[in-house]
Every structure is written in structure tokens, then in C-alpha cells.
Amino acid sequence: MKKRIAKFITAAVIIAAVIILIFNPFSDKYLILEDDQTGEIYTKIPVENLDEFEITFTHSVNKSPVTDIYQIRDGNIYLTGNIYYSFGAGVPTEIYEGQKLSYGENGEMIISDMDTLMPNLVYIIGTVTDYYLSVNGGEKVCLQDLYGTNKHIRIYCRGF
């Protein structure tokens, strides 16, 4: 009986440790999504230095997907890449020194090696297209489903 209890306690401790390592509920570093007009914090996502996140949406002019890729460095957000399928207003038409342009298997244009500090990152979540957030390659979450439409979502880091 004592061996069973000891095994149970050992298993419970291992499971708790795994949950803490995966979900890190005690992290004091967060990616914050808030209403830029009211300051209401919608979401706090635990993150670490060098984590990445993406925002994907359908471009309002050329109606093709666009993905903006960001990296967190020392509490700052940097735009590190773009993926898009068609030219149009608001998408890059040239690359700058140090950046690379490549093409994906599905015809997407991929700009990498960008390094643009984004001190005021705001997306306006409209009514025509959905915006999706993915952190570290995880599940894409629809921002309209979470926060509604016509919202100005400010994204920043806290706790670094």
C-alpha cells in the first residue's frame, strides 16, 4: 500500500513539473494584447526572450494572405519577416540591405532577415477579414472571435 502511495505521489509530482515546464504559469514575462483606445488588457501570454509570433490576415486590397513574423528580444518586438502572395498597396515591393527574398512551394514571397523594431505595434481588427495570432508556431487563434471587430489591438511585452 505504501509503495502505491509513493508511486502515486511521484507520478503526481512529475505531471505537475511537466505542466509547469510546458505552460509556465509563473512566468512574469508576457506578450500583452490590449485595446489601444481603452487600455483594457485582453490577453497576457507567457513568453520568453527570442520567442516568435505571427499575425496572419487577408490583405484588404489584393485579397491574398499576408503573414507578419515577429520576434521578442529583451522585451522589445522586432518585425523579422513577411510572407505574402501578391503585390499591392501596403506590401513590400523591394528588399533592403541584409534582407533576403525567397519563394515558397506555393508561390509565396518570403522576406527574411528583417530587423525592424516595432515600438508601437497596433492592428486594426476590421470586419472584412479575420486576423490570426500564433505564438511559437502554435495554434492560430482568431482575434475577431476573441475580441470582436473594429478593435485597435496594441501588442507589446511586459516583464522583461
**Residue 146 dihedral angles phi and psi, to the nearest 5°:** -80, -40
Q: List the helix and strand counts (H, then E) for the chain.
A: 2, 12
Q: What pLDDT does residue 97 have?
A: 93
59 within 8 A of 84, measured Cβ to Cβ: yes
Q: What is the pLDDT of residues 56-110, one digit of tens each?
A: 998 877 788 999 999 999 999 999 999 999 877 777 778 899 999 999 999 999 9
Give the whole-angstrom CA distance, residue 158 versus residue 160.
6
Cell digits for 39? Answer: 487600455
User: pLDDT digits over 28-52, tens only?
Assistant: 899 999 999 999 999 999 999 999 9
Domains of the chain by residue range: 28-158
Higher pLDDT, 157 or 127: 157
112 against 27, higher pLDDT: 112
Predicted pLDDT of residue 8: 57
Q: Are 30 and 10 in contact (CB under 8 A)?
A: no
- Quote the pLDDT of residue 21: 45
Give percent of the chain above pLDDT 70. 83
